[in-house]
């Protein structure tokens, strides 16, 4: 009698970040069918998000390097795993936004100037001391977490967005909330000076806010449809009107300057759990794009 030997299935290696609720999810989005102006069919608002997307890869590289400068001082095993999850998520964000930026370029949206602008602004921040650079990163992470929370909590945003395009932004938003405290926890080990945080926030505003608005205006000026005042007015209202997407976020920014600020004090755990179920549960709408589910699911679905 011949016996067939069945080899045991190799265990799937769980990424360090997945052990602490910051799983680096390998995603592969398909956005080929999205409409030209994916946010409310408005060119001006769409170009704002295109500008943001072009800024993410250089920005996330800056964030990772700022944290990496202090990685050696971290002794806590949990925080080390959280840093690994943070790095993994940010690297995947950069890759997926690079793909999205390529799609924008194919559709005639020239992102070279916005990319050059953000690199120039971040280059200016590189002259700051390493600890101040890390403080600047925590301020920018605070801002992106606020944007992420607004995006996930505002059903009107999803209704106005292209149904394919919104998937990438919702996934990105969830992961920004999952790792929102990591850079700050590292900064606390590095000293955490309130005065330095004030300086860092001011430096970010001076270096990047004018670059952002200049980049956006340049994109609008070079987009034929957006030359109409009606489109520009509608876009500005969508983003910066009394009920605008960005307007709702801005009043929360100064919280960062408080003496005892910490990102975790603003609890978003319930929101994160809700969206993990919606995106990655048994019937999750992102499961078709999720390539390493077996590796991250053990702790990715709290």
Average pLDDT over residues 150-172: 94
Q: How confident is the model at residue 295 (pLDDT cuts 50, 70, 90)?
A: confident
pLDDT digits (tens, 9 = 90+) for 38-71: 999 999 999 999 999 999 999 999 999 999 999 9
- Helix, strand, or coil (residue 201): helix
List the one residue out of 176, 164, 218 whose CA is nearest residue 89.
176
Planar angle of CA 99, 174, 186, nearest 5 degrees: 100
| Contact indicator for 38, 165 with CB cutoff of 8 Å | yes
Q: How confident is the model at residue 2 (pLDDT cuts 50, 70, 90)?
A: low
pTM over 0.75: yes
**Would you say residue 187 has pLDDT above 90?**
yes
Measured CA distances, 251 to 143, 206, 287 (Å): 11, 18, 35
List the one residue out of 83, 81, 79 whose CA is nearest residue 67.
83
pLDDT digits (tens, 9 = 90+) for 240-268: 999 999 999 999 999 999 999 999 999 99
List the one residue out of 174, 181, 184 whose CA is nearest residue 25.
174
- Helix, strand, or coil (residue 9): coil
The whole-chain average pLDDT of the chain stands at 92
């Amino acid at each position: 009698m011949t016996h067939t030997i069945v080899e045991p299935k190799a265990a799937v290696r769980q990424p360090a970040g997945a052990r602490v609720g910051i799983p680096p999810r390998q995603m592969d989005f398909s956005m080929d069918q999205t409409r030209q102006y994916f946010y409310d069919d408005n060119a001006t608002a769409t170009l704002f998000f295109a500008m943001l997307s072009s800024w993410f890869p250089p920005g996330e590289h800056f964030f990772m390097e700022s944290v990496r400068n202090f990685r050696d001082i971290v002794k806590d095993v949990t925080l080390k795993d959280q840093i690994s999850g943070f790095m993994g998520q940010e690297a995947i964000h950069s890759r997926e936004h690079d793909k999205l930026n390529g799609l924008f370029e194919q559709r005639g949206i020239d992102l070279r100037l916005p990319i050059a602008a953000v690199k120039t602004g971040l280059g200016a921040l590189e002259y700051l001391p390493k600890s101040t650079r890390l403080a600047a990163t925590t301020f920018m992470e605070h801002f992106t977490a606020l944007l992420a929370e607004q995006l996930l909590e505002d059903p009107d945003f999803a209704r106005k967005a292209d149904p394919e395009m919104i998937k990438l932004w919702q996934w990105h938003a969830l992961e920004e909330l999952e790792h929102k405290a990591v850079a700050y926890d590292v900064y606390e080990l590095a000293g955490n000076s309130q005065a330095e945080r004030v300086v860092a926030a001011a430096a970010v505003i001076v270096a990047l806010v004018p670059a952002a608005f200049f980049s956006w205006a340049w994109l609008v000026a070079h987009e034929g449809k957006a030359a109409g005042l009606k489109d520009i007015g509608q876009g500005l209202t969508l983003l910066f009107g009394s009920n605008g997407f960005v307007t709702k976020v801005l009043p929360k920014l100064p919280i960062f300057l408080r003496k005892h600020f910490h990102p975790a004090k603003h609890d978003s755990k319930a929101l994160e759990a809700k969206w993990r179920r919606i995106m990655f549960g048994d019937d999750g709408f992102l499961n078709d794009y999720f390539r390493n589910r077996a590796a991250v699911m053990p702790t990715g679905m709290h």
